[in-house]
A and B are shown apart, each in its own frame.
Chain A
Amino acid sequence: MPSDAVLETIGLGVRYGETRVIEDISLRIPERRVVAFIGPSGCGKSTLLRCFNRLNDLVPEARLTGQVLFRGRDLYGPAVDPADVRRSIGMVFQRPNPFPKSIFENIAFGLRINGFKDDIRDRVEVSLRAASLWDEVSHRLDADALGLSNGQQQRLCIARALAVEPEVLLMDEPASALDPIATGRIEDLIGSLRGDYTIVIVTNNMRQAARISDDTAFLYMGELVEYKETQRLFTNPEDRRTEDYITGRMG
């Protein structure tokens, strides 16, 4: 894999109170690639993902050790404002969580709070097009976002994240609450974003990881077991645990 990393962790560990969730994880996320984190529930893949936009800061008892670098800069350094980090590193959550406002306002919010100076209407359209949602909602931008289907809500959340021009998009099982058709659309969407964004996606669905990602990391019990190009990981796993997991003997 290419060596110029956008995100890098060095000996990263996270504890929630007394519970160690991840331990001593060192990995590099290369620019403009789609990286999937797979592993059984509770292996720490979501926690690892949330280190990249400092969302674990919201959990009072979370403690972090080691380093996370974003373009070589320590994300947890004293001069870093988490709000600033989160604009550059967007996130899409497991359950679609649009704001209980109009479709338009869902996207406009991120623009306004970040001091967007150009035409908001314009940017709303561009974002919705980028998330392949424009054709379905262009005639009802003032409608309540909660009236959309689950899959549409999730694409709205992606549009909302894209609107503020992040470099990296973190996706925490973005399709696990969706039906197969909506899941397919999300996967297509990720395919269309590939090459423009660095995407890190947590998924419980190995076939999904195989379909959409360039590289895959397998986590097990808070430990990074194996991390390489997706195709090689699935066809030629080196670690016994990886093999057991991808062949369905474990997890």
Chain B
Amino acid sequence: MSFPSGRLRGGRFEPRVEARRRAGIRFMWLCRFAVAFGVASLLVLLVSILTVGIPALSPDFLANDPSRFPERAGIRSAILSSAGMLALVAAMSFPLGVGAALYLEEYAPRNRLTRLLQTNIANLAGVPSIVYGLLGLAVLVRFLALERSLLTGAATLSLLVLPLVIIAAREAIRAVPGSLRAAAYALGATRWQAIRHHVLPAAMPRILSGTILSLSRAGGETAPLLVIGAFTFTAFDPVSATDPFTALPVQIFNWTTEPQGEFRALAAGAIVVLLGALLLMNAAAVLIRNRYER
């Protein structure tokens, strides 16, 4: 039954192989249950949203502005507002985030201050979004006396996702092999030349996919926008960054608070659109990463 042993003899063992094997199988089933639970709740959510939401979808629903009459209400202004806001968020958070990440990874000395900065950025990524909303309200709207505009909303969301962009960009930059930097430096490249020609291009796919994921997080945020004063009812297209604004999730929130049941269906329809958009963004992020990584 037992295999012959080597030089050491006489020790007492109780291998209980069968019991150990069963314990392993029990644990595997526990893990399977955990996965099934997550997938099942997601499925229930999706099915319930889709069954109510899909009938609400129509060309008119996308093309019309919100209205007091459910049959005429649409999400045109919300979509345009969200799209414009995300474009602004990208324009603000991408250069700031990548710049900060480059500083931390390529320039900053390895000392206590740098470590403190890094820890703080990681913590900022975990701050509840409503806190960023309050910050936006206090600093941008009250102190800087900016209007409650698309720009204010975008700036607030940029603050919110900046830590995420920095963390994603730092990881992307750190994944660039040191041999590539060494090759550039050994030819007489300055730090900036090595970064511009080799480090950044090599890190870019991951930086982009991280930024897109951060943007999709921003696209789904509601609370901070409500706090700084998003309009829950805008029947016009945003044409400039200083226009009053709404956003798709804000519109959804608004409709779910309406007493009439028809608006719930509209909310479900808007949720389907929002989910679809976020799913597309995440797919794009994965695609970029897979396409350019060797």
Contacts and interface: CB of A to CB of B under 8 A. Distances in A.
Is chain B a partner of chain A in the same complex?
yes
Q: Chain B at the A interface: mostly helix, strand, loop or mixed?
A: helix
B182 to A, nearest CB: 6
Interface in A155-190: 157, 160-161, 164
Contacts of A82: 185
Interface string B156-190: 00000000000000000000011111111111111
A194 interface: no
A90 B294 contact: no
A87 B188 contact: yes
B197 A58 contact: no
Contacts of B187: 86-87, 90, 109-110, 113-114, 160-161, 164
Q: How large is the interface on B (under 10, 10 to 19, 20 to 34, 35 or more residues)?
A: 20 to 34
A95 B193 contact: no
Contact of B186 (A100, A114, A146, A161): A161
Contact of A100 (B110, B189, B202): B202
Interface in B191-238: 193, 197-198, 202
B188 A100 contact: no
Contacts of B202: 100
Contacts, number: 69
B109 interface: yes
A197 interface: no
A60 B185 contact: no
Interface in A185-238: none
A99 B179 contact: no
A58 B182 contact: yes
Most B C-beta atoms less than 10 A away, residue of A87, A95, A97: A97
Nearest to A84: B188
A24 B197 CA distance: 38
In the complex, the 8 A-B pairs of residues with the closest C-beta atoms, listed nearest first: A87-B188, A110-B187, A91-B186, A97-B179, A60-B110, A86-B188, A97-B183, A113-B193
Interface of B: 109-110, 177-190, 193, 197-198, 202, 294
Given A53-B186, A86-B189, A113-B190, 14 more contacts: A58-B178, A60-B110, A83-B190, A86-B188, A87-B187, A91-B186, A93-B182, A98-B183, A100-B202, A109-B184, A113-B189, A114-B187, A146-B294, A160-B183
12 contacts: A53-B186, A58-B185, A60-B109, A82-B185, A84-B188, A97-B177, A97-B179, A109-B184, A109-B197, A110-B187, A110-B189, A113-B188
